[in-house]
A and B are shown apart, each in its own frame.
Chain A
Amino acid sequence: MATKTKVSEHSVAPPPVTTSYQDAHEAHGDHDHGHDDHGPLMHHFDDMVQQRESITIGMWTFLMTEIMMFSGLFFCYAFFRWKFHDAFMLGSQQLDINLGTGNTFVLLASSMTMAMAVHCAQIGDRKKLVAYMIGTLIFGGAFLGIKGIEWSADYHEGMVPHFQAFGSRGNWDETGQTWRTSHHAHEAGLKAGPTPEGYVWDYKHKKPVKSEEVKMYFMLYFCMTGLHAIHMVAGALILLVMILMAMNGHFGNGNDQPIEIFGLYWHFVDIVWVFLFPLLYLIAGFHPGGH
């Protein structure tokens, strides 16, 4: 390990040569948390380079596990999209593509401000750092807000499957007249074709589609966007804490790595959305979304 060879020349605290009975760990920790030019070097690392690299690789490895976790859902998505192609097309039409597109841009904007925040942390500009992080938080919050509006509309229009127990006005086994596309088609004067029981009519493709299969689309839609949103919420909470810390000057003196690490996470969550958006919203081609 090249980084390790610096051990002798570096001013690292020596291992605890405690000759009296005392809390070796605590005593050591006190030394570590003193703010020197190198930022806080944790006790078990030899130098800052090693610490930085470890933490960065750690985050990348963590993101790898996150990818594997999402991949389980993406696999289910692929499987069922192959199996229930038509239902996925119909389900996709029910989503509000305008809100989805808007949300994509909001999230991309938050990624941009996050990138700026990382840069500001590196050059040590505390004011701008705080400003950009607040910007990121606002964009992130806006994304969650818009997502909430979407979900709420989905719920009220009865597109959340299997929620009847919770008083949803779900109307899945009827002909789907409460759906957005149905409204839209109704207004446009289109008529549904022959729709057997248990089916809904796809106005765009002019054929009946099994409602059970559309439910599968929506189940996956809620699982995938839900898991994504959980990551967003977690990210926003961490971001909030980090803003408060940044205000107290916690990330000065070369201690900018936490910002960078968090930025990695934030971009990852953003990228997941970049995959979710086309897979969920765009697969049916352009559609007006009903509104």
Chain B
Amino acid sequence: MQGSISIWPEQASVQAGPIDNIMHLLNAVTFIFTAGIFIAMIYFVVRYRRGAKVDRSNPPLEHHVLEITWSVIPMIICLVIFGWSTVVYYQNKVVPKDALEIYVVGKQWMWKLQHPEGRWEMNTLTVPKGRNVKLTMTSEDVIHAFFIPEFRVKSDVIPGRYTQIWFNATKTGTFRLFCAEFCGTDHSRMIGKVVVLEPSEYESWLQTGNVNQSLSTKGEQLFRQHGCSGCHGANSNVRAPYLEGLYGAQRPIQIPQDGVPLERIPAKVITADNRYIHDAIVLPVNEVAAGFKPIMPSFKGKLSEEEIVQIIEYIKTLKTSNGTHNGSSSGGLQGYPGQGAGNNKRTSDIGADDIRARTGINPAPVKVQ
């Protein structure tokens, strides 16, 4: 029998500690209650065994105070565990803003991981120690689940959706990576490892090995190849939204409704995140950038999930001409065609008043550079 007996997994991320603390509490509760029940049971069985000379007079048949007590005490314990656990869960759910984003695509039966700088890996995830890492994951076929026991993180990887987890590795070394959701024949071979390096080693690692073009470079190629630049590019004649500064910005969209002319549909503001851009590529008519016509074709089936990820990375690199990555500081409508002269050649297309009239949104004034 190889391997040592381990009864507690290593803690290798900032998440592991708090989760293990809840485990300790739960273990204590379980142990106390189980021991209590067993001891009570054995004591009663022995003491009140048949033929034992003990007092059996007036056995209680009901005792509401007692029963309510032992209903309420477990309930309080449950609520305490619930509260604590929910707080920890919520902290683990909210992804820190500064996190390094790595894309994960699961397919039967392998993991493909892409670093934004272009290095990609199969079934191995290399991350720097002490840095928040965010994984954005999707699947090309069935549901998988990305699971790193030592980090205590797990999330299903679902076709047609992006799921996210984040962690912050606290130890260097090699850890295990599992697919936890049954995904077919070689489910148990859909495993890999997580290598945690010192940040400096990580930097040099990024430069070696199978350095590919960065995701965004690849994305840029795809952007031209599939003709996206034909409409969204700077010199296009087709009226399509500019993508500069799009990522992460607040954008007005219209959700088309039947029987209502698009012009009369009030817009709502959403954040242009991965989900939005992904859907805009594969399901463009569902959410139309306010003020535009729903004429973009769907690229579903033409772009793989990996390629969509690359395009998203490319779109992220598109900055507004004033150099800010996105325009959250300036009211959320930056980069929107027609709202200012600064970054838009086609000011005649649609003006700020126009937006207001059509969408009910007051575009924030943008300083002309």
- Evaluate contact between A207 and B256: CB separation under 8 angstroms: yes
What is the CA–CA distance of A278 and B283 in the complex, to the nearest angstrom?
28
Q: Does A174 contact B (CB under 8 A)?
A: no
Residues of B within 8 A of A208 (CB): 285, 294
- Evaluate contact between A196 and B296: CB separation under 8 angstroms: yes
- Evaluate contact between A207 and B294: CB separation under 8 angstroms: yes
> Chain A interface residue count: which class?
10 to 19
What is the CA–CA distance of A254 and B261 in the complex, to the nearest angstrom?
64
- Evaluate contact between B258 and A196: CB separation under 8 angstroms: no
What is the CA–CA distance of A90 and B285 in the complex, to the nearest angstrom?
14
Binds B, one of A127-135, A181-189, A197-205, A233-241: A197-205
Residues of B within 8 A of A89 (CB): 258-259
Of residues 96 to 153 in B, which have CB atoms within 8 Å of A's CB atoms?
A: none
Residues of A within 8 A of B297 (CB): 196-199
Of residues 184 to 242 in A, which have CB atoms within 8 Å of B's CB atoms?
A: 194, 196-199, 202, 204-210
Question: Contact check: which of A197, A210, A284 meets B258 at CB < 8 Å?
Answer: A284
Of residues 252 to 289 in B, which have CB atoms within 8 Å of A's CB atoms?
A: 256-259, 261-262, 283, 285
Q: Does A34 contact B (CB under 8 A)?
A: no
What is the CA–CA distance of A30 and B189 in the complex, to the nearest angstrom?
66
* Main secondary structure on B side of the interface with A: loop
Question: Contact check: which of A90, A198, A206, A209 meets B300 at CB < 8 Å?
Answer: A198
Find the B residue at minimum CB distance from A90. Answer: B258
Q: Does B328 contact A (CB under 8 A)?
A: no
> Chain B interface residue count: which class?
10 to 19
- Evaluate contact between A194 and B298: CB separation under 8 angstroms: no
What is the CA–CA distance of A287 and B329 in the complex, to the nearest angstrom?
48
Q: Does A270 contact B (CB under 8 A)?
A: no
Residues of A within 8 A of B294 (CB): 207-208
What is the CA–CA distance of A285 and B262 in the complex, to the nearest angstrom?
19
One digit per residue, 1 when the CB lies within 8 angstroms of any chain B CB and 0 when it does not, for chain A 62-102 equals 00000000000000000000000110011000000000000
- Evaluate contact between B285 and A210: CB separation under 8 angstroms: yes
Most chain A beta-carbon neighbours within 10 Å: one of B256, B258, B259, B283: B258
Find the A residue at minimum CB distance from B255. Answer: A85
- Evaluate contact between B285 and A199: CB separation under 8 angstroms: yes
- Evaluate contact between B259 and A196: CB separation under 8 angstroms: no
Most chain B beta-carbon neighbours within 10 Å: one of A197, A198, A202: A198
What is the CA–CA distance of A223 and B239 in the complex, to the nearest angstrom?
42
What is the CA–CA distance of A88 and B297 in the complex, to the nearest angstrom?
20
Known: A194-B295, A196-B298, A197-B297. A209 touches B259 (CB 8 A): no
23 residue pairs from A and B, CB less than 8 Å apart: A86-B257, A86-B285, A90-B258, A196-B296, A197-B297, A198-B297, A198-B298, A198-B300, A199-B285, A199-B297, A199-B298, A202-B258, A204-B259, A205-B258, A205-B259, A207-B262, A207-B285, A208-B285, A208-B294, A209-B285, A210-B283, A284-B258, A285-B259
